[in-house]
Structure 1
Amino acid sequence: MHVPDGFINAPVSAVTGVVAAGAVAVGLRGARRELDERTAPLAGLVAAFIFAVQMLNFPVAAGTSGHLLGGALAAILVGPYTGVLCISVVLLMQGVLFADGGLTALGVNVLVMGVVTVVVAYALFRGLLGLLPRTRRSVTAASFVAALVSVPAAACAFTLIYWIGGTTDIAIGKVFTAMVGVHTLIGIGEAVITGLTVGAVIAVRPDLVHGARGLTAPLKLRIDGELVDAPAARPAAAPATTRSPRALWATGLVTALVLAGFVSFYASSNPDGLEKVAADKGIDEKVEEHAAKDSPLADYGVKDVSDARISGGLAGVIGVGVTIAVGSGVFYVVARRRRTPGASDTTAAHDRETV
């Protein structure tokens, strides 16, 4: 759903840019409470993983494909404030390096694909957890539903922005029906990817999933007809919260590199939901050439590399590397600026030792 230059007029693009910048500023401030020096590299990994999976367009209807937006996944794994920053980093890398998503439309893309998906998904996720049993399965199920709803919500947000500042005179009802219809189908794919990813991380390191913290209820035993807390089992190894996340980080990085460098070659070549609707309804009549069209990585290929498989694979690997480097750098700086009222020097030292 990357909006190119020319879909939205200059004044509305400017306003959305200001609003998006404000949202990123709020994200930077809020992420200080969500990140520490142990989890900051994982947030960078989440950004790189989302970049990689966004290269995997999957078919959703005749002549149409979809791809992960990632707002729900990022919010649940690393928190809503950090989630907005993750998506913003991905969109910035895609726009500047790969000519994907207009530069003047960057604010629109951050709002639609980052802020709206994160806010809608995380609010629904927390609401569902308040109704479901406090188990890991509930976290996975809530992740699935939240991701499913977040995609048509983003489609609604784009339609609203287009209604206010669209550059072509198209009946907004037709745009709304087409956008929500196709993106509801794309939402199913988003939900599957999000649910599987969250479930996989919870299975090995539930302590690193932001949305799963503090959800597991203590084990109960029934004694003489009364439920009592079971005695704590003596751990055979170090507690999860003191184990280094390096193994998970390495596994996630390898997975992202394989997806972007190899699996992406087999992704659907059909236009995504927005591209298809734009072509069918005439929204793309005034689309503008991308300012970064001459980038050596434009259109997810390495310039002067003739073999499509190698060109696309190298571009994907470079994209993952740059995204994880930029993202991890941003999140590390945010984590270093963290200020927790009442936190002792001992706690801060412990956090550094567990990186």
Structure 2
Amino acid sequence: MTSPSTTSEPHADRVAALRDRIDDALPSLVEDRAPSSLYESIHHVLQAGGKRVRPVVLLLTARAYGARVERVLPAALAVEVFHNFTLVHDDLMDDDDERRGRPTVHVKWTEGTAILAGDLMLGLSYELLGQVEGTDSDALYDVFHPMVRKLCAGQALDAAFESEDAVSVAAYLDMIDQKTGALLSAAFELGGVIGGAPAPAQERLRAAGQLVGRAFQIQDDLLDLTAQNEEWGRAVGGDLVRGKKTYLTLRALEQADGPEYDWFARLVTNEGLPPDDVPEARDRMADLGVFEEARERVASYTEQAHEHLQTLPETPPAETLRWLLDHLKARDY
């Protein structure tokens, strides 16, 4: 099935309006609260912007079933606060200096502050989820609890991959399903629960989220080497320099042989490539067809997600959600 052809302007406007609602609400969650040393760091994170994909997906899914934005907004804020909690701890674990062009919390403040800020955002996400009116909180937490467990397991797998000499693409995709796909699946499913979707539809929404997670992460892996948009906000080739195992590097290792394999194997044996080698790595991957294959994977996973989203009622928010998936597939930052 191919997603319906639609004019982008009304969908882009609808997404922008929802993103504005989220951007306006997030900083106010922690304003004028003490101790300032802790809450200022959270404010720093929440006002840094971002694509807000997860809360927008949740809002559009619930809206497709007729739920009002005001009723759904606490859940949307919950998933975005939770997502930012994972980024704060992820930055700390990876010792990253910048996030979205700004210093990370552990750099601007301290490692202890980053740990506490993440912990508090985790608690705040649960508090926000409990503020959704008209929906049984237990039904929401039945989605949220397993997501937290899966995401933590995925983060642990990602960290463990750094010290493993051989990681298969299948293992990498399993990690994505947990680290990236779990929260996206929860965003789709929570929107369905709040909107009153029947159980079979909730299952299909959950499956759509996992597929979108795979497409989203592989597109991220691609952009790490191909991004030209200044809004990408990260150094191109950063994953290669850090020796991070991504879909692209793992496929390059699977495809290459002889001297070509030895060249890419330095990613593992030397724990990364010198920055000056990044352009050559990009050329070698292109010659192996890794970029083309990755783009095909992104398109395939997105198409499969569209098939699951056939369960949605035919409403304008559902059309916008489908448009958003195609927009994410083609994003350049």
Same fold (TM > 0.5): no
Give the structure, 1 or 2, with the largest relative contact order (CA under 8 Å, sep 6 or more). 1
* TM-score (ref. length: structure 2): 0.33
The structure where helix makes up a greater share of residues is: 2
* TM-score (ref. length: structure 1): 0.31
